[in-house]
Amino acid sequence: MRVPRLLTTALLALATAFAVPAAPASAAGNATQNAAENYVALGDSYSSGTGAGDYSDLLCTRSGNAYPARWAQASAPASFTFAACGGAKIPDVLNNQVRYLDQSTTLVSISIGGNDSGFASIMLTCMFSSQSVCEQRLDEAADYARNELPGELDALYATIRDRAPNAEVVVVGYPYLYKEGGFCLSMGSGKRAAINDGSDVLNQVISGRAAAAGFSFADARPAFAGHEICTSDPWISSSNIHPTAEGHEKGYLPAFSAVVR
Assess contact for 241 and 193: CB atoms under 8 A: no
Residue type, 61: T
Question: Of 75, 216, 242, 248, which one is the catalytic site residue?
Answer: 242
Residue 242 is a catalytic residue: yes
Which of 45, 48, 63, 109 does the annotation list as catalytic? 45
Written as one string, the DSSP assignment of 176-192 is --B--SS--SSS-HHHH
- Decide if 75 is catalytic: no
> What are the residue numbers of the active site?
45, 242
